[in-house]
Amino acid sequence: MSLLEVDGLSCHYGDFQALYEVTLAVEEGETVAVIGANGAGKSTLLDSIAGLLRPSAGDVRFDGRSVADLRANVRTRLGISLVPEGRRIFPSLSVTENLLIGGYPKRPGPWRVQRVFELFPFLAERAGSRGWMLSGGEQQALAIGRALMANPRLLLLDEVSLGLAPVAVKRLYDALPSIMAEGTTLVLVEQDIGQALKIAGHISCLLEGRVSLAGRPQDFTRERIVEAYFGIAA
């Protein structure tokens, strides 16, 4: 039994269908990258897993239990945390206050404010700074830290590198092995194929709302992945 099972998931925004019978399985402790071009349905998939979007068909199972009808806050208490695209930190609150809000489910585990500061030392230096005062990379680190404060079993990361300078992206990706070492399962959404292939044990490529490729990165040539990403005929 996989920790996360997405089975035949379809999602709509009004009359527009964003996902078509998407299937995904993620084992506990695994890191899976969901790749695809802008508009492929990647964020819709994560929002559906996190409970922010109700699917029109299919099921989402977590640790063997269907969570498709559960609200997002209930899923967080079960151990699913989302780092949303755009970070969505609280700009008027300090770094420490943002982190403390993330810990509201009070799930047991290793992640506390001090542990997040050990993971991201540059956040410790800005502990009293308001969210709006942080750089883009610092805000992304804060969003990740806030999600970790819920001590999730499954961490959903949506577009970690989007809009960030290469040095900021490197700092964030350098922290991921420490998160994985705590036993956290990761599902990572990325447009950057190179970053995704470095960290993931499995990949799932979406193209216009459908899975166009799935498996271990080493089982595919770079050309095959690019074909699936852009919909280029082999």
Comparing 14-18, 85-89, 199-203, the range with the smallest average pLDDT is 85-89
Spatial separation of the C-alpha atoms in residues 226 and 167, rounded to whole Å:
25
Domain of 167, CATH number, reads 3.40.50.300
Cα 158 from chain centroid?
4
Instruction: For residue 5, give Cα distances in angstroms to 1, 2, 18, 73, 95.
Output: 9, 6, 19, 19, 34
Strand partners, 157: 83, 188
Type and span of the H or E element at 185: strand 185-190
Q: Report d(CA 180, CA 73) in Å as an integer.
A: 23
* Nearest of 199, 185, 191 to residue 147 by alpha carbon: 185
Q: Is the pLDDT of residue 234 over 60?
A: no
Looking at residues 60-86, what average pLDDT do you find?
94
Q: Which helix (H) or strand (E) holds 175?
A: helix 166-181
Confidence of residue 123 (pLDDT cuts 50, 70, 90): very high
Domain count, the chain: 1
- pTM, full prediction: 0.92
Name the residue range of residue 134's domain: 4-230
pLDDT over 90 (residue 85): no
What is the mean pLDDT of the segment spanning 75-100?
A: 93
- Whether the CA torsion 49, 53, 58, 62 is positive or negative: it is positive
